[in-house]
Amino acid sequence: MKLPLRVGVGTAYDSKVRAGSHGLNDTNIAPRDRQHGGYRPGRAARRALLSEGDDQSRAQVTMIGNDLASHLFPGVDPIGHELLIEGRPS
């Protein structure tokens, strides 16, 4: 790599997640920014990508997969609802 335009560091960890009265332990969390992606087609509950504005303002936006969405938000569209990761809003 001679002159990289952007460089990022990523990590993944397991954490507790909760939405209302539903929760899961040991959920894999993989923080990403818009430039470094992490979105894998077919895994997100609904295809919605982070916007440039989300990234610039460091918005608390979370993308979740279908399995997590159906467990934490049964019968409800998860978009716009609060998700807690280790007790912090996300």
- Domain spans, the chain: 13-89
**pLDDT for 42:** 47
> Does the pLDDT of residue 15 top 60, yes or no?
yes
For residues 19 and 84, the answer to whether their CB atoms sit within 8 Å is: yes
Share of the chain above pLDDT 90, in %: 22
Phi and psi angles of residue 55, each rounded to the nearest 5 degrees, phi first: -65, -45
For residues 83 and 62, the answer to whether their CB atoms sit within 8 Å is: yes
Residues 54-85: pLDDT tens digits? 777 877 778 888 889 999 999 999 888 999 99
H or E segment and range at residue 69: helix 66-72
